[in-house]
């Protein structure tokens, strides 16, 4: 059922089997499975995650390469609701471990100062990441190209950059090393630091050895039309040709709501086992929040794994259903 | 490009980066990724695998629950071809390790007695399983229900059996234990051995304790109409009510072509690492051939992982592309 501030009261006494934080590719896959295992689950989605910004979906079996992420999300939300999952547009502020259950504090809309506390046995963290984009005075100029010809994922879109003049925009020296992977797809790489850090003499030499120009001025503007880049203009007026770009500036993980719980991380990624279970027995993590490839197919499989493990544990703890004791519940 | 006996000669001197054995969910996902990594790949599909028989796809994000497996496969084949993969309808008879490459012997059609030998650096084993169905004199009577109301996968279809009278058809005592998992979805379970084995006194007692009747006669016929079961008739004329069923008779893995290569198995499943690599560095295994859940979402993710690892290894071994050395290849 779709929940909102108008009917959330009906769920304040519910103990969910699982609350899924994030209604992107992984979270919706988990919800579809959880619901079909007959488990009571709720998806809380804040809106506008990474897959919402995907203008196309190149690599995912069964989808046209032009399928926008938001269409798959909309379809998946209907799927999950159809099988009986609850869905709430809201923001998860904090998760507190109460022993048998978690208290999940959710705010619904910006005016909801107090929030609502929901309860669940398991938490599925599927809240993903948001890519860091270069900050310009006119951010609309970035959004005109981001997700079209200015990409954030080399695995997803490297093929579409094949042998093109490509801008690689980075904010640390470590990210600049992406040039030496991107050159599988194209050798015509110009590297931009947007003025954010000092490039070491060693990196300068390595880029020069490959013939990749380095631009350390801030970016003023992207040039092009109809979402197709033609070049980048720097603060000093320099124009650099580029028909495509890769933003390699890292990403922010949406996992602040877990900060009160002691979980094992590897860098920023949650450590999980082969069923997506974190170091806490009742918290699972999917897709971009955990170690591994940030791909739709991986997040969708992660949802399958987490939901299946939650079902297994729940089922094994339940009393077996015997024929005689259930007479009367028989379906028509 | 679509290959056949008419144009296979054009590929006899090719060394593929990867030959994917099986064009089901996993194999096609691998091919889509391999092609978009700019790798030369071929999918060999014998036809009529397990997902071809899937009459609906309940759990896979972004697909309508009524989507037949064969439609997703058809769409995915077009996707893979569209990105530049080769596709051949044929049967892989044997894979031989030649050191740097594998020789893959393929037969195209039943009249192809000699076969054709193709070469590849990597093999992706994605040839899946075929479920064992109860053998009746009239197999059409089995196919009238299999994939509709007579299921082979509890995870996929348990929800659709909810609180219904269900037939569990098994061919070993071990498979009979599925009753005690299936009872999560329904407690009205009748167990059928189709006369294939002796049931131990211990299992008989356990089934009786749960109130699940046991039928040890061979099955004569499924009753129902429009793919909807109503019951099962036994050889002695006994009629048992059941509106749904689960065939838990195990499955055959299509991996005979690997028999000449020493690979690590766990039971019948190939052992793989977290990128789907088998114990042989240049052989990967996906989906139902390896350990793990037999689900579309898992096979699709496995294809992503295997292709990505093959790309990584290939890329790392390649010379880096420098700007000056590539002038002239620039895309328009």
Handedness of CA A263, A264, A268, A272 (dihedral sign): negative
Q: Mark yes or no for CB contact A330/B212 under 8 Å.
A: no
What is the length of chain B? 332
Q: Which residue of B has its CA nearest to A307?
A: B155
Contacts of A330 in chain B (CB under 8 A): 163-165, 188
Contacts of B193 (CB under 8 A, 6+ apart): B170, B171, B176, B199, B214, B215, B216
Helix (H, G, I), strand (E, B) or coil at A315: helix
Q: What is the DSSP letter of B277?
A: B
Instruction: Tell which residue, A196, B143, A212, A19, has the closest CA to residue A204.
Output: A212
Instruction: Tell which residue, A275, A298, A280, has the closest CA to residue B306.
Output: A298
Average pLDDT, chain B: 96
Interface of B with A in 262-291 (CB under 8 A): 274
Which one is predicted more confidently, B169 or A327? B169
Scanning the structure block, which residue is given the tokens 């052992």?
A: B271
- What is the rounded CA–CA span in Å between residue A22 and residue A43? 6
Dihedral pair phi/psi, residue B139, rounded to 5°: -65, -25
How many Cβ pairs within 8 Å bridge chains A and B? 181
- What is the rounded CA–CA span in Å between residue A49 and residue A71? 13
- What is the rounded CA–CA span in Å between residue A134 and residue A146? 10
Interface of A with B in 84-113 (CB under 8 A): none
What is the model's pLDDT at position A332?
59
Q: Which residue of B has its CA nearest to A296?
A: B301
Interface of B with A in 16-45 (CB under 8 A): 25, 28-29, 32-33, 35-38
How many Å lie between the alpha carbon of A25 and the closest alpha carbon of chain B?
Answer: 8
**Number of Cβ atoms within 10 Å of the Cβ of B93:** 14
Token pair for B254: 């299509």
pLDDT > 90? residue A86: yes
Can you give the pTM of this predicted structure? 0.97
Q: What is the mean pLDDT of residues B16-44?
A: 98
CA angle B257, B260, B265 (to 5 degrees): 80
Q: What is the mean pLDDT of residues B289-303?
A: 97
Instruction: Tell which residue, A97, A303, A9, A170, has the closest CA to residue B301.
Output: A303
How many Å lie between the alpha carbon of B315 and the closest alpha carbon of chain A?
Answer: 7
Nearest to A33 among B59, B163, B164 (CB): B59
Helix (H, G, I), strand (E, B) or coil at A257: helix
Q: B199-217 pLDDT, tens per residue?
A: 999 999 999 999 999 999 9
- What is the rounded CA–CA span in Å between residue A97 and residue B322? 53
- H helices within chain A, ranges in order? 25-36, 50-53, 69-82, 139-143, 154-157, 173-176, 179-182, 201-210, 296-317
Choosing among B54, B60, B62, B206, which should be mutated to test the A contact, i.e. which has the most A CBs within 10 A? Answer: B62
**Quick check: A312 contacting B, CB < 8 Å?**
no
Between A52-66, A269-283, B239-253, B290-304, the lowest mean confidence (pLDDT) is in A52-66
pLDDT > 90? residue A270: yes
**Number of Cβ atoms within 10 Å of the Cβ of A94:** 17
Q: What is the mean pLDDT of residues B145-166?
A: 96
Q: What is the mean pLDDT of residues B271-287?
A: 98
Instruction: Tell which residue, B188, B91, B14, B320, has the closest CA to residue A187.
Output: B320
- What is the rounded CA–CA span in Å between residue B150 and residue B222? 10
Interface of B with A in 159-178 (CB under 8 A): 159, 162-165
pLDDT > 70? residue A41: yes
Which one is predicted more confidently, A112 or A151? A151
Kind of pairing, strands B228-234 and B219-225?
antiparallel
Average pLDDT, chain A: 96
Contacts of range B135-144, beta carbons closer than 8 Å, 24 or more positions apart: B136/B219, B136/B220, B136/B221, B138/B221, B141/B221, B141/B222, B142/B222, B144/B222, B144/B224, B144/B227
Q: What is the mean pLDDT of residues B283-310?
A: 97
What is the model's pLDDT at position B331?
77
Q: What is the mean pLDDT of residues A35-60?
A: 92
**Quick check: B58 contacting A, CB < 8 Å?**
yes
Report CA-CA distances (Å) from A8 to A56, A243, B17, B61, B158: 34, 48, 54, 26, 30
Q: Mark yes or no for CB contact B298/A305 under 8 Å.
A: yes
Share of residues in chain B with pLDDT > 90 (%): 93
Per-residue confidence at A48, pLDDT binned at 50, 70, 90?
Answer: confident
Per-residue confidence at B298, pLDDT binned at 50, 70, 90?
Answer: very high
Q: B221-233 pLDDT, tens per residue?
A: 999 999 999 999 9
What is the length of chain A? 332
What is the model's pLDDT at position B332?
59
Q: Mark yes or no for CB contact A59/B323 under 8 Å.
A: no
What is the model's pLDDT at position A330?
83
- H helices within B166-270, ranges in order? 173-176, 179-182, 201-210
Interface predicted TM-score of the whole assembly (ipTM), two decimals: 0.96
Q: What is the mean pLDDT of residues B137-158?
A: 96
Q: What is the mean pLDDT of residues B9-37?
A: 98
Contacts of A40 in chain B (CB under 8 A): none
What is the model's pLDDT at position B74?
96
Q: What is the DSSP letter of B207?
A: H
Token pair for B207: 């089934």
Q: A114-149 pLDDT, tens per residue?
A: 999 999 999 999 999 999 999 999 999 999 999 999
Contacts of A80 (CB under 8 A, 6+ apart): A23, A28, A31, A32, A35, A43, A87
Kind of pairing, strands B41-45 and B15-21?
parallel
What is the model's pLDDT at position B325?
87
Contacts of A124 (CB under 8 A, 6+ apart): A18, A19, A20, A21, A27, A30, A283, A284, A285, A286, A303, A306, A307, A310
Nearest to A322 among B211, B297, B311 (CB): B211
How many Å lie between the alpha carbon of A321 and the closest alpha carbon of chain B?
Answer: 5
- What is the rounded CA–CA span in Å between residue B188 and residue A330? 8
Between A143-147, A225-229, A327-331, B99-103, the lowest mean confidence (pLDDT) is in A327-331
What is the model's pLDDT at position B49?
83
């Amino acid at each position: 059922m779709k929940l909102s501030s108008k009917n959330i009261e009906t769920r304040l006494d519910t103990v969910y089997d699982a609350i899924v934080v994030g209604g992107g590719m992984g979270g919706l896959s988990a919800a579809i499975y959880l619901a079909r295992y007959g488990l009571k689950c709720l998806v809380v989605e804040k809106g506008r995650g990474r897959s919402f910004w995907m203008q196309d979906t190149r690599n995912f079996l069964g989808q046209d390469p032009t399928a926008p992420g938001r269409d798959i999300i909309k379809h998946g939300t209907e799927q999950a609701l159809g099988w009986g999952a609850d869905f709430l547009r809201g923001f998860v502020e904090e998760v507190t471990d109460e022993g048998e259950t978690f208290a999940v504090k959710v705010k619904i809309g910006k005016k909801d100062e107090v929030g609502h506390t929901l309860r669940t046995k398991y938490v599925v963290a599927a809240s993903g990441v948001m890519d860091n984009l270069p900050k310009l005075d006119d951010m609309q100029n970035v959004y005109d190209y981001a997700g079209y010809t200015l990409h954030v994922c080399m695995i997803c879109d490297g093929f579409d950059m094949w042998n093109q003049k490509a801008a690689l925009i980075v904010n640390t020296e470590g990210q600049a090393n992406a040039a030496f992977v991107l050159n599988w797809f194209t050798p015509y790489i110009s590297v931009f630091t947007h003025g954010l850090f000092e490039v070491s003499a060693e990196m300068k030499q390595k880029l020069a050895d490959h013939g990749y120009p380095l631009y350390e001025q801030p970016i003023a503007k992207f040039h092009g039309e109809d979402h197709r880049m033609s070049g980048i203009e720097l603060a000093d007026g320099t124009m650099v040709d580029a028909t495509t770009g890769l933003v390699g500036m890292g990403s922010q993980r949406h996992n602040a709501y877990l900060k009160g719980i002691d979980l094992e991380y590897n860098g920023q990624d949650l450590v999980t086992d082969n069923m997506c279970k974190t170091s806490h027995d009742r918290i699972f993590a999917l897709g971009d929040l955990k170690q591994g490839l940030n791909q739709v197919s991986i997040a969708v499989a992660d949802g399958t794994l987490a939901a299946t493990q939650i079902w297994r544990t729940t089922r094994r703890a339940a009393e077996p259903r015997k024929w005689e004791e259930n007479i009367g519940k028989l379906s028509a």
